[in-house]
Amino acid sequence: MKTGTSRPSTALETAGLGHRYRQTWALRDCALHIPAGRVAALVGPNGAGKSTLLHIVVGLLTPTTGNVDVLGEPVGQQAAALSRVAFMAQDKPLYEGFTVADILRFGRHLNPQWDNGLAENRLNALGIALKSKVGKLSGGQQAQVALTAAIAKRPHLIVLDEPLANLDPLARNEVMRSLMTEVAETEITVLLSSHVVSDLEDTCDWLILLNGGRVQLCGDIEELLSSHRMISGPVELADRLLEEVQVIDQSRTARQLTCVARIQTSEPVLHPDWSISAVNLEQLVLAYLRRPNVGVLPHPNLASA
């Protein structure tokens, strides 16, 4: 995985990852990877196992089966492994009685690579006073403090569990923008979960679709979009269409068939009665979520198919 002294090109890789709570498997046989420097979206319905997966990646949970590597090294409860990954949990928990300065001091005492200057500059730019009590800040400001603490840790991988939940649209935009600024300036890899796909379209370039505890899709968003089409046309021609493309999800009326399909070549040559259009991320995700048994592929390397 490692080539010389340079960073491995894979930021996160899991193999055979599974987690069981008593009798039920929250995650099963998950194989996924994120290339270094990507902003990856972990998408799936509620209860798909997103938080479980993220908790395993950051070392809070020990998986029942399989393993997780961050930059080629296993994650877990060792100081070195913990220092490589930063985490912002759902609801952005922080000590409410602490001042913002206390939070920074907390981070400085517990992290060897802590960058206090970075943290202070960020908060300064955001207009958050160091002496304010965390509990008195707005939801958006608390999210910014939590994000600052995660970034100032100087991790290779930053993991955010539903970072935009419970934030108003303005705060969502600001949190996302400040995260993207940070990503642009460093080589940091981001993994963030959300069940609102529209929040991710502009910011993420890698998609992991988790459904019922299994990885349904894992790949570059542009590649995924370019290899799928929205196709609609007369329902009588449906049989012939099915021979030519892999239909992921379809809906039929008496006369019309509309489907999201995976295509083999750059532009399929179909009967002229079919109208073909591009899919957006939301349509793609919905199509797969409706068909949980389709596309459970570890690496859908579509270009080579």
Partner 1 sequence: MLWVTWRQHRTPVLLTAGLLLVLGTILLVHGLLTADFIRDRASAGCPGTGPDCLAFEQEVRLRYQQIYQLIGWLPVAPALIGAFWGAPLLAKEFEHGTHKFAWTQSVPRRRWLTVKFGLLGLTTVLSGLALGGMTTAWLSTFRGTGLGDAFGDKGLFAVAGVVPGAWWLFSFALGVAAGATIRRTLPAMAVTLAVFAVSLFGVFAARPFYAAPQRAVQVSAEVSPLPADAILMKDVWLTTSGQEVSRATMVNAIADACRAVSASVKYYQCAFEEGYTQVVYFHPSTKFWQFQWTETGILVLISLVLGVLAFVSALRRRI
Interface residues with partner 1 (CB under 8 A) are 21, 55, 58-61, 77-79, 82-83, 85-87, 89-91, 93-96, 98, 102, 105-107, 109-113, 146, 149, 153
| Of residues 58 and 221, the one with the C-beta less far from partner 1 | 58
User: Which helix (DSSP H) or strand (DSSP E) does residue 100 occupy?
Assistant: helix 100-110
| Of residues 34 and 103, the one with the C-beta less far from partner 1 | 103
Q: Are 110 and 161 in contact (CB under 8 A)?
A: no
β-partners of residue 258 are 232, 251
Reading the block at residue 146, the tokens are 């939590």
Per-residue CA distances from 22 to 19, 101, 201 (Å): 10, 41, 36
CB of 303 to partner 1, least distance (A): 36
Half-sphere exposure of 89 (CA within 13 A, CB side): 9
| Of residues 103 and 179, the one with the C-beta less far from partner 1 | 103
| Of residues 109 and 255, the one with the C-beta less far from partner 1 | 109
Handedness of CA 34, 40, 46, 52 (dihedral sign): positive
CB of 34 to partner 1, least distance (A): 18
CB of 94 to partner 1, least distance (A): 6
| Of residues 105 and 291, the one with the C-beta less far from partner 1 | 105
Residue with tokens 């949190």: 175
CB of 85 to partner 1, least distance (A): 7
Largest Cα–Cα separation, the chain: 69
CB of 242 to partner 1, least distance (A): 44
Beta strand 10-21 with 246-252 is unpaired
